Chains A and B, each alone.
Chain A
Amino acid sequence: DGGITQSPKYLFRKEGQNVTLSCEQNLNHDAMYWYRQDPGQGLRLIYYSQIVNDFQKGDIAEGYSVSREKKESFPLTVTSAQKNPTAFYLCASSGDRDGIPYEQYFGPGTRLTVT
């Protein structure tokens, strides 16, 4: 089945440690996204990538880093510089047809808790 996988589902880390969240898609989509979700704040864009080896900052990129070495993969690293990293993280991907975008498809999410 085609889709997006995120691992792990739950992740616990000590303050001061970097942590990498995995996102893999087999939908052959060019674009991939990372969002952060906090209660009552909707989804906020962290980083996005339209093509391999290229990515752009979203609205809340500080304290995060990404890479896009393969079309299928878009890992997110939450660094120790992120002041409030505890949140639910969602990865998404999208393609387009003749310049009209498909909707974004979402993974199941990773809940990160930092203590």
Chain B
Amino acid sequence: AQSVTQLDSQVPVFEEAPVELRCNYSSSVSVYLFWYVQYPNQGLQLLLKYLSGSTLVKGINGFEAEFNKSQTSFHLRKPSVHISDTAEYFCAVSDVGNQGGKLIFGQGTELSVKP
């Protein structure tokens, strides 16, 4: 993978509203795709991953993402957010067959859920 772009640096949303965090990547080969969440001053936790198979991937905490190969996108969605979803979210990509399993990360999207 050559780059990952998260299209929104900040996304404010009201509690119980739906949310979509956008991620696009560029690569000349097939990829594996990941979404991670980071709470303040903590490490990253995996939300979900796409390795192969169904393009709709379900993860933890009610999140899901859809891999769209033609649009080189992997947008993250949740139908109804909670205050506790406030965090930073990172999209990451790894080339299939990439030695070392290196990931390329997007710059992150800060999700802020307001009551």
Which of B41, B99, B101 counts the most chain A CB atoms within 10 A?
Answer: B101
| A101 in the interface (beta carbon within 8 A) | yes
The listed residue (B42, B101, B106, B107) touching A104 by CB distance below 8 A is: B101
- Which of B42, B43, B107 is within 8 Å of A41, CB to CB? B107
B33 vs chain A, min Cβ distance (A) = 11
Which residues of B38-61 are within 8 A (CB) of A? 41-46, 49, 51
Check if A2 is an interface residue, CB within 8 A of chain B. no
Assembly CA distance A42 to B38 (angstroms)? 11
The contact size tier of chain A is: 20 to 34
CA distance A66 to B83 in the complex (A): 39
Which of A50, A88, A106 is the one whose CB lies under 8 Å from B45? Answer: A106
A88 CA to B42 CA in the complex, in Å? 10
A101: chain B residues at CB < 8 Å are 32, 94, 101
Q: Is the interface of B mostly helix, strand, loop or mixed?
A: mixed
Query: How would residues 2 to 29 of chain A score, 1 for a CB under 8 Å from any chain B CB and 0 otherwise?
Result: 0010100000000000000000000000
What's the minimum C-beta distance from B37 to chain A, rounded to whole angstroms? 11
By the criterion CB–CB under 8 Å, are B43 and A94 in contact?
Answer: no
**Cα distance, A89 to B103, chains bound together (Å):** 16
Closest beta carbon of chain A to B95's beta carbon, Å:
10
Query: How close is A71's CB to chain B, nearest CB, in angstroms?
Result: 15
A108 and B108 in contact (CB under 8 A), knowing A40-B9, A48-B100?
Answer: no
Q: Is the CB of A42 within 8 A of B101?
A: no
Give min CB distance, A109 to chain B, whole Å: 5
Q: Which residues of the partner chain A approach B46 to less than 8 Å between Cβ atoms?
A: 103, 105
Cα–Cα, bound, A40→B106 (Å) = 10
Would you call B34 an interface residue if the criterion is a C-beta within 8 Å of the partner chain's C-beta atoms?
yes
**3 tightest CB-CB pairs across the interface, nearest first?**
A106-B43, A101-B101, A42-B107
**A-B contact sample (18 more), CB < 8 A, given A94-B101, A109-B42:** A40-B108, A41-B107, A42-B90, A42-B105, A43-B44, A43-B105, A48-B102, A90-B44, A100-B51, A101-B32, A101-B101, A103-B49, A104-B101, A104-B103, A105-B46, A108-B43, A109-B41, A109-B43
